[in-house]
Amino acid sequence: MLEAANETTLILSRIQFALNISFHILFPTITIAMAWLLFFFKIRHHISGHPVWMRAYRFWVKIFALTFALGVVSGITMSFQFGTNWPGFMEKVGNIAGPLLGYEVLTAFFMEATFLGAMLFGIKRLPPWLHTLSTFLVAIGTSLSAFWILALNSWMHTPQGFEMIDGVAHATDWWEIIFNPSFPYRFFHMLIASGLTACFLVMGVSAYRIIKGDEKKAPQVTLRAAAFLAAVLIPVQIFVGDLHGLNTLKHQPQKVAAMEGVWETQKGVPLLLFALPDEDERTNHFEVGIPNIASLILTHDLDGEIKGLNEFQGKHPPVAPVFWGFRIMVGLGVIMLFVSWMTSWQLLRHQRVSPIMLKVIVATTFSGWVATLAGWYVTEIGRQPYLVTGVLTTEQAATNIAASNVGISLALYAIVYVVLLIAYIHTLFYMARKSVKVEEFVTPSESWRESDNNNVEDSSGQTKSEEVKVL
Amino acid sequence: MMADYLPTFFLLLMALSVLIYAVLDGYDLGVGILLPMNNVEHRHQMIASIGPFWDANETWLVLAVGILLIAFPQAHNIVLRELYLPAAIMLIGLILRGVAFDFRAKAVTQYQPLWDKVFRLGSLIAALSQGFMLGMYVVGFEYSFITICFSLLTAFGAAAAYVYIGGAWLVLKTEGELQKFAAKKARRAGWLMGLSFIAISTVNPWLNPEVAERWFTMPGALVVLLIPVMCGLIWLLVDQYLKYVPVQKDRACWVPFVGGIAIFSFCLIGFAYSYYPYVIPGQLTAEEAASATKSLQFVFYGVVIVLPVILAYTVLSYRIFKGKTNELNYY
C-alpha cells in the first residue's frame, strides 16, 4: 500500500510538511525564550519595584500573546500532518513517536495554555506573586514542549533503545530513546537559538521605537537587557554548535560531508567559504577555501581525515541545500556576534547606542528566524533520504492519497500562512509605533488598589476602560 | 494482566477528551459563530468571556487526536486519510479563529471588524467541518450522495449544538442585553439542535443495521432508551429557563450550561453504546488497532499522574475567572 505513493503526492507532501513546520517553528522559537524574558522582567520588577520593568513586561506580553497564538494554531496543524501525509511514519515507528508526542501534550501543552490564560487576563484577579508564578509555569511549559519534541526529532536522527519486530519498531528502553546521542546537543542548540531569536527581536523592536522618537525608558531597558543577553549567548551557541557538529560527525558523517562539501575522503580538508556543489559530476565548482581548517574544526587536528560523500553514494542527502543552509546559518551567527557585541560595547562605554547602530539592529530584527530556519534545513535535509536514520526512508512513509487533495490543502495553507506572516510583521511594527506616542502609563501593580474607572493609558494607547472590551 | 485493559482504557480516555473538547471548545466556537456584526460592544464582551480559556480548550482536541495517534496509530492513519480535506478545512478554520483572537486586539483599529468577521467565519468553518467529519466517520467513510447528505446533516447539528452551548455559556458569563440576546439565540439553536439530533438518530440506525440491533434489542433497549428520554427532559428544562431570561437576581444562570453539558454527555454515552468497542465503526476494534503494550504502558503512567493535575489547574483557572466577564479583564 505504501509503495503505491506516487511521485507527485510525495513531492507535494514534502513541500507541505516543510511549509507547515517552517511556518510553525518561527513562533515557538520566539516564545520559548521570550517566556523566560517576561519572567525576568517580572522578577526585576518584584526586586527593584521600578515600574519600568512592568511597562516592559506589558508591552512585550502583548507581542508574546500574538506570537503564541500563531504558534498554537500552526502547531495543531502539525499534529494532524503525521496521519494525513505520513502514515508510514506512524505505522513503522508509532510505538516510539506516539508516546513522546503524548507526553508533550500532557506535560507541556495543557500547562502552557492554561497558565497563559491566567498570565494574560489574570493580572487584576491574581495577587502579583501568583501572576509571576503563572508566567514562570508558561515558561516551563514552553521549554518542556521543546524537550519532548526535540527528543523525538533527535531520535529520528540517532535512533536507539528499540528493536524491530515484524518490521515495526518496539521500545526496549525509554531512557535510551529520550536521551539518544544527538538529543542533548540539539536541545541546547535550539534553546540558545530561541534565546538569540527572541533577543534580536526585542533589540530590533526596541531600537525601532527609539528611532521613531520614543524617549521613554522602557525601550532603552529592554534593548540593554536583550543586547547583553545576546552578547553572552552567541559565544555559548558557537561552542554548543561545535559540539553538535562533532556529534553529527560521529553519528551522521554523510551530513557533515554535505555541510562541508567534501566528495572524496581526504585529510587536511579546507574550510570552503564558497563553492557550487554539483551532484551530477560529483564535484564542486568555484571553490574558495581556507586550507586544513575544516579538518581542524571537525577533528581538532589540521590533518584530520573526513569521510567524503562518495562513501555514501545513494545514501547521502542532497548536497547544495545542506552546504548553503550551513553557510547562511554560520554567516548570520557571525553578524549576530558582531551586532550584539558592538551594541553591548557602546552601551557599556557610552550608555547609549549610536543612530547608525540602531538602524543596524533594526535590520537584524529577524536574523534569528533566518538562522534558525537555515540550521533546521541543514539538519533535516541532512537526514535525507531517511526519515528515521537507517530505519525508514521518507519515500516509504508517504501517503498514497490523490495528489490533487494534497495540492488543494497545500495551496490553502500557503495562502493562509503568507497572509498571516505579513499581518504578524506588520502588526509587530504597528504596535511599536503606537507605543511611541503613548505617555508613561501607570502599571497595574501601581494601580492595584485604585478604582477601575481612572482613564490611565497603557502602552498600546487604549484607556483601561476600552481595554476591557478589546481583550 | 493490565495489558488487556489498556486498549479499552485509551478508548475511554479518547472519548472523554472528545467530550471535554466538544463542551469547552464547543462553547468557544459557538460564541464565535454568534458574534453580532452590528454590535461592537457585545463582540468585545463575548470574546472577553472566552479569552482566558480558548487556548487550553483547544488543547483537548490535540489530546484526543494525540490518543488516537498514540494508542491506535492504524486507526489514526485511516481516519486522517479518509477525512483528508475536511480535516484540512477544519484546521484552516481553527487557524483563522485562533489568530483573529489576537489580531483583533492588536492590529490597526480599522481592521478590527474584519478580524471579527474572520473570527466568526473560522468558528463556523471549524464547527461545520467537525460535524461533517463525525458524520463521515459514522458511515464508515463512504462517499456517496446519501452519506454526504447525512454528513451535511451532522455538520449542521454540530454547529447548532455548539451555538447552543455557546449561548448557554454567555447566559452564565454575561448579563443585561447581551444575556438576553444569548438566551434567545441559544433557545433557537436548541430547537435546531433537537430537530437535527432526532433526524440523525432516525437515519443512523437505518444506515447502520448493527446500531439498530443494539438499540432495539431487549432488555438493553429499556436502559439505553432512557438516554433520549433524559436528553429530552433536560432540553425542555433548559428551553423553559432560556425563555424567562433575564431571571430575577440572575438565579440559577448556570442551568443552561450545565444542562448543555448533560445533553452532550448523554449523546456521547449513546454514541459509545452504538459503537463500542470499535475505534472505527464496523472496521477496526480498539484491540485490533492498539499499538504495542510497552508504549501504551509508558503513556498510561503519564496519564494517571498528569491528567489529575491538568484537571486540577483547569478547575483553578475557571475559579480565577469565575463570575461575570464584564469586570475589568486585561493584560
A74 has a chain B CB within 8 A of its CB: yes
Q: How far is CA B27 from CA A197, A337, B202, B256, in A?
A: 36, 49, 26, 12
* Inter-chain contacts counted by CB atoms under 8 A, chains A and B: 240
- My answer on whether A21 and A144 are in the same domain is yes
- My answer on whether A14 and A158 are in the same domain is yes
Do A376 and A33 form a contact (C-beta atoms < 8 A)? no
- My answer on whether A273 and A203 are in the same domain is no
CB-based contact B91 A122, cutoff 8 Å: no
Residue A252 counted as domain residue: no
Query: ∠ at Cα B118 (A108, B320), nearest 5°?
Result: 40
What cell numbers appear for B307 in the block?
A: 491528567
Residue A57 counted as domain residue: yes
For residue B219, cis peptide bond before it (omega within 30 degrees of 0):
yes
Distance from CA of A104 to the nearest CA of B (A): 10
Distance from CA of A62 to the nearest CA of B (A): 8
**pLDDT exceeds cutoff 80 at B52:** yes
What cell numbers appear for B57 in the block?
A: 480548550
Give pLDDT, residue B293.
86
Q: How far is CA A17 from CA A37, A102, A157, A342, in A?
A: 30, 20, 17, 38
B301 has a chain A CB within 8 A of its CB: no
Q: Half-sphere exposure (CA, 13 Å, Cβ side) for A131?
A: 25
**Residue A106: which of B79, B306, B321 has the nearest Cβ?**
B306
CB-based contact B66 A80, cutoff 8 Å: no
Give pLDDT, residue A5.
55
Integer-rounded Cα radius of gyration of chain B: 20
pLDDT tens digits along A301-343: 888 888 888 888 888 898 889 999 999 999 999 999 999 999 9
Residue A286 belongs to what H/E stretch?
strand A283-290
- My answer on whether A190 and A272 are in the same domain is no
Do A464 and A458 form a contact (C-beta atoms < 8 A)? yes
Give pLDDT, residue A452.
37
Cα–Cα nearest to A259, from A298, A304, A292: A298
What cell numbers appear for A99 in the block?
A: 508516546
User: What's the mean pLDDT when you consider all of chain B?
Assistant: 88
Residue A118 counted as domain residue: yes
Percent of chain B surpassing pLDDT 90: 40
Q: What is the DSSP string of A256-285?
A: HHHHHT--S-EES--EEEEEEEETTTTEEE
Residue A444 counted as domain residue: no
Q: For residues A263 and A268, what is the distance between their CA atoms, to the nearest angstrom?
A: 13
CB-based contact A122 B321, cutoff 8 Å: yes
Q: For residues B65 and B76, what is the distance between their CA atoms, to the nearest angstrom?
A: 8
Q: How far is CA A432 from CA A207, A429, A435, B108, in A?
A: 10, 5, 5, 12
Dihedrals phi, psi of B84, to nearest 5 degrees: -55, -55
- My answer on whether A87 and A202 are in the same domain is yes
CB-based contact B53 A69, cutoff 8 Å: no
CB-based contact B306 A107, cutoff 8 Å: yes
Number of domain units in chain A: 2
Find chain B residues with C-beta within 8 A of A469's C-beta: 40-41, 44-45, 48
Find chain A residues with C-beta within 8 A of B320's C-beta: 118, 122, 125-126
Identify the closest residue of chain A to B328 by CA–CA distance. A468
What cell numbers appear for B289 in the block?
A: 488497532
**Residue A117: which of B53, B92, B107 has the nearest Cβ?**
B53
Distance from CA of A328 to the nearest CA of B (A): 31
Find chain A residues with C-beta within 8 A of B98's C-beta: 69, 72-73
Distance from CA of B235 to the nearest CA of A (A): 31
Q: For residues A156 and A144, what is the distance between their CA atoms, to the nearest angstrom?
A: 19
- My answer on whether A173 and A216 are in the same domain is yes
Do A106 and B310 form a contact (C-beta atoms < 8 A)? yes
- My answer on whether A51 and A92 are in the same domain is yes
Identify the closest residue of chain A to B323 by CA–CA distance. A125
Query: ∠ at Cα B217 (B211, B219), nearest 5°?
Result: 130
Q: For residues A467 and A469, what is the distance between their CA atoms, to the nearest angstrom?
A: 5
Q: How far is CA B176 from CA A452, A468, B188, B326, in A?
A: 20, 17, 19, 11
Instruction: List all residues 6 or more positions away from A325 whose beta carbon is below 8 Å from its beta carbon.
Output: A374, A375, A377, A378, A381
Instruction: List all residues 6 or more positions away from B235 whose beta carbon is below 8 Å from its beta carbon.
Output: B190, B194, B259, B263
Three-state secondary-structure class, residue A211:
helix
Distance from CA of A77 to the nearest CA of B (A): 6
> What's the burial of A41, exposed, middle or buried (CB within 10 Å: 0-12/13-18/19+)?
buried
B254 has a chain A CB within 8 A of its CB: no
- My answer on whether A143 and A90 are in the same domain is yes
Q: Half-sphere exposure (CA, 13 Å, Cβ side) for A412?
A: 18
Q: For residues A114 and B313, what is the distance between their CA atoms, to the nearest angstrom?
A: 7
Do A303 and A267 form a contact (C-beta atoms < 8 A)? yes
Instruction: List all residues 6 or more positions away from A289 whose beta carbon is below 8 Å from its beta carbon.
Output: A270, A271, A272, A273, A275
Q: Would strands A305-306 and A386-388 be described as parallel, antiparallel, or unpaired?
A: unpaired
Q: Count other Cβ atoms within 10 Å, centred on residue B133.
A: 23
- The interface residues of chain B toward chain A in range 307-326, judged by CB-CB distance below 8 A, are 307, 310, 313-314, 317, 320-321, 326
CB-based contact A90 B73, cutoff 8 Å: yes
**Residue B314: which of A114, A405, A426 has the nearest Cβ?**
A114
Higher pLDDT, B225 or B171: B171
Do A317 and A381 form a contact (C-beta atoms < 8 A)? yes
The 10 Å CB-count burial string (b at 16+, else e) for A1-30 is: eeeebeeebbebbbebbeebbbbbbbbbbb
Dihedrals phi, psi of B252, to nearest 5 degrees: 55, 40
Do A275 and A285 form a contact (C-beta atoms < 8 A)? yes
B262 has a chain A CB within 8 A of its CB: no
Residue A256 counted as domain residue: no
A136 has a chain B CB within 8 A of its CB: no
Cα–Cα nearest to A97, from B285, B132, B73, B275: B73
Instruction: List all residues 6 or more positions away from A121 whose beta carbon is below 8 Å from its beta carbon.
Output: A471, B51, B52, B321, B329, B330, B331
Q: Count other Cβ atoms within 10 Å, centred on residue A313.
A: 9
Give pLDDT, residue A372.
96
Q: What is the ipTM score, two decimals?
A: 0.86
Residue A280 counted as domain residue: yes
The domain ranges of chain B are 29-290, 297-321
Residue A390 counted as domain residue: no
Q: How far is CA A389 from CA A253, A308, A376, in A?
A: 12, 18, 16
CB-based contact A118 B292, cutoff 8 Å: no
Give pLDDT, residue B1.
60
Identify the closest residue of chain B to A409 by CA–CA distance. B88
Give pLDDT, residue A467.
34
Three-state secondary-structure class, residue A171:
strand
B297 has a chain A CB within 8 A of its CB: no
Residue A189 belongs to what H/E stretch?
helix A183-211
- My answer on whether A199 and A126 are in the same domain is yes
Identify the closest residue of chain A to B297 by CA–CA distance. A99
Do B34 and B123 form a contact (C-beta atoms < 8 A)? no
Distance from CA of B306 to the nearest CA of A (A): 7
Paired residues of A170 in beta bridges: A163
- My answer on whether A270 and A367 are in the same domain is no
What cell numbers appear for A460 in the block?
A: 498600546
Q: For residues B331 and B329, what is the distance between their CA atoms, to the nearest angstrom?
A: 7
**pLDDT exceeds cutoff 90 at B321:** no
Give pLDDT, residue A414.
94
Supply the range of the domain harboring residue A149. Answer: 2-246+324-379+399-437
Q: Half-sphere exposure (CA, 13 Å, Cβ side) for B168?
A: 30
Q: Which regions of chain A are under pLDDT 50?
A: 1-4, 446-471
Q: Would strands B284-285 and A168-171 be described as parallel, antiparallel, or unpaired?
A: unpaired
- The interface residues of chain A toward chain B in range 5-64, judged by CB-CB distance below 8 A, are 58, 61-62
- My answer on whether A242 and A146 are in the same domain is yes
